[in-house]
Amino acid sequence: MENVGAIITGSSRGIGRATAVRLAQDGFKITVNYSQDEEGAKKTVRTVKDHGGEAFSVQADVSDQDATKKLVERTVEEYGDLGVLVNNAGFSHHATLDELRHEDWQKGIDVNLTGSFNCAKAAAPEMKELGWGRIVNISSLRAMTGSDHGSHYASSKAGLLGLTKSLALELAPEITVNAISPGYTRTPMTRESLEEKEDQITEKIPLDRVAESPEIAGVISFLVSHDGSYITGETINANGGIYMR
């Protein structure tokens, strides 16, 4: 079901921006979301429109429950319905257990996990009303491998897989809920690491390169399309085969 409203959280840059553009090309009407990067959000809206799509932006910190309710309300006011939610907004920050402050731990959980719960809770009634819905949660390779420099990040992303399966059970049959676990993807989030050690990173990847954001957006597009209609509660790993090395 295209031509319905689609919220992509954290779409002021990176994977979120590529997803906004891709889903607009697929025919969805896009709500761009951000918490701080207003300029980035405006750029995403312009890019979607340049590709012939429809978009507007809403500032909302996904860890704030009231803000996510307003994000959904604004989308329904603008487009008349809401069919797709991509929980993409993410916070990452490098710190070992020794270095990690309690507030950083909490922020990782609040944005990456509770933020996805908040958005799904606000969006699900609208999808039920529509009789159709697709929720895609952006997890991470780190959900499976853990991380020696971001236990908050890995834990929040692993929690997201539990949330995915739980909501898939609760929201069936109208709404499918799936996760994607990207591996290394070239975005502002990974800019520093890739500048420092892209060669070392790609050595571990059978496909011999990191992903580009549109490749992750393409997997999201598949899950929300008719071709993804019989998949729910699943995680698709898009990591260039990194587990096999």
Task: Verify whether residue 230 is a known catalytic residue.
Answer: no
At 63, is the secondary structure helix, strand, or coil?
coil
- Identify which of residues 122 and 130 has a Cβ nearer to ligand NAP in the complex: 122
Looking only at residues 224 through 243 of this chain, which bind ligand NAP when binding is defined by CB under 6 A? Answer: none
Which of 57, 29, 53, 23 minimizes the C-alpha distance to 43?
Answer: 57
- Identify which of residues 140 and 232 has a Cβ nearer to ligand NAP in the complex: 140
Are 81 and 4 spatial neighbours (Cβ–Cβ below 8 Å)? yes
- Identify which of residues 55 and 89 has a Cβ nearer to ligand NAP in the complex: 89
The 131-160 contact track toward ligand NAP, x by CB under 6 A, reads: -------x-xx-------------------
Looking only at residues 175 through 194 of this chain, which bind ligand NAP when binding is defined by CB under 6 A? Answer: 182, 184-185, 187-190
- Identify which of residues 44 and 130 has a Cβ nearer to ligand NAP in the complex: 44
Select from 63, 75, 114, 176 the one that contacts ligand NAP (CB under 6 A). Answer: 63
- Choosing from 34, 79, 153, 184, the catalytic residue is 153
At 7, is the secondary structure helix, strand, or coil?
strand
Least distance CB 49 / ligand NAP (angstroms) = 18
Are 16 and 212 spatial neighbours (Cβ–Cβ below 8 Å)? no
Contact call for residue 91 and ligand NAP (CB under 6 A): yes
CA separation (Å) from 155 to 11, 108, 144, 168, 207?
23, 9, 10, 20, 27
Q: Return the bridge partners of 85, or none.
A: 7, 135
CB count within 10 Å of CB 148 equals: 10
CB count within 10 Å of CB 159 equals: 18
Q: Would you name the residues annotated as active-site residues?
A: 153
Chain residues that interact with ligand NAP, rule: CB under 6 A: 9-16, 33-37, 61-63, 88-92, 111, 115, 138, 140-141, 182, 184-185, 187-190
